[in-house]
């Protein structure tokens, strides 16, 4: 399958550009969230202010612990540098907090200035953040690739009418069929986008 002309690339952060090691099941258990349910959506349903504050504090603690240990995913840094060299705009849209994201980005010297976290726009799979970047770049969404590793990334790309590129290093997931392109190594994505 030939890729359409792509004029911009937006990345997810965790497990796409940088490693992440957060035990989401442990977080769900601690904050009373159903197994497999969206943690951020569950937070919105907590009506008791103290319980919500406690849940947010625990999530923050787990995100910060993870942030200090993050490393580049093999091949990701070289790919970002090649995009810069070809003057292709790049950005990050993450469900992570701004605080944790900035620690990860600074620690790993990630050369991407446009970063949208959950504090700045509705969380994926809502496409608002992706469409906001497309408007800022003055590029049609159909000419932008969104690269991520999870269902919400694919859905966000589809909802924004962007090209969904799914980084799958583990077992095949059912939602993989919703992606436009699936890759296991950044060299594959580089060939696909840059030729």
52 and 119 in a single domain? The answer is: no
Whether residue 3 lies inside any domain: the answer is no
Q: Which domain holds residue 82?
A: 8-20+71-194
2 pLDDT exceeds 60? no
- 79 and 96 together in one domain: yes
Residues 92 and 51 in one domain: no
Q: Which of 18, 16, 51, 53 is nearest to 32 (CA)?
A: 51
Strand spans (E) along the chain: 8-11, 90-93, 115-116, 144-148, 163-167, 181-183
131 and 35 inside one domain: no
Q: 165 — phi, psi (to 5°)?
A: -110, 120
> What is the mean predicted confidence (pLDDT) over 98-117?
96
User: What is the Cα–Cα distance from 181 to 195, expressed in whole angstroms?
Assistant: 14
62 with 80, same domain: the answer is no
2 within a domain of the structure (yes/no): no
Whole-number pLDDT of residue 50 = 84
**Poorest-confidence range of 24-28, 108-112, 143-147, 157-161?**
24-28
Same domain, 60 and 139: no
pLDDT over 60 at 43, yes or no = yes
In a domain, 189, yes or no: yes
> How confident is residue 37, by pLDDT bands cut at 50, 70 and 90?
confident
Tens digits of residue pLDDT in 125-144: 999 999 999 999 999 999 99
Which strands, in side-by-side order, build the sheet including 163-167? 115-116, 90-93, 8-11, 144-148, 163-167, 181-183
Are 88 and 56 members of one domain?
no
139 and 178 belong to one structural domain: yes
Model confidence at 1, pLDDT cuts 50, 70, 90, reads very low
CATH number reported for the structural domain that contains residue 140 in this entry: 3.40.50.1000
On the question of a cis peptide bond just before residue 88, with omega within 30 degrees of 0, the verdict is no
Same-domain check for residues 63 and 75:
no
Dist CA 144 CA 180 (whole Å) = 12
């Amino acid at each position: 399958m030939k890729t359409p002309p792509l004029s911009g690339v937006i990345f997810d952060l965790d497990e796409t550009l940088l490693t992440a090691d957060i035990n989401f099941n442990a977080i769900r258990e601690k904050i009373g969230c159903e197994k497999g349910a969206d943690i951020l959506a569950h937070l919105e349903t907590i009506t008791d202010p103290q319980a919500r504050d406690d849940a947010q504090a625990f999530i923050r603690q787990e995100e910060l612990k993870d942030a200090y240990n993050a490393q580049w995913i093999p091949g990701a840094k070289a790919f970002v540098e090649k995009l810069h060299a070809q003057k292709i705009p790049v950005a990050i849209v993450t469900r992570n907090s701004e605080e944790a994201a900035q620690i990860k980005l600074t620690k790993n010297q990630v050369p991407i200035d446009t970063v949208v976290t959950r504090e700045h726009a509705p969380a994926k799979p809502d496409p608002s953040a992706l469409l906001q970047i497309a408007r800022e770049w003055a590029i049609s969404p159909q000419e932008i690739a969104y690269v991520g590793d999870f269902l919400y990334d694919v859905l966000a790309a589809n909802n924004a009418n962007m090209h969904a590129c799914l980084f799958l290093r583990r077992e095949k997931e059912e939602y993989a069929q919703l992606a436009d392109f699936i890759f296991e190594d950044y060299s594959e994505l580089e060939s696909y986008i840059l030729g």
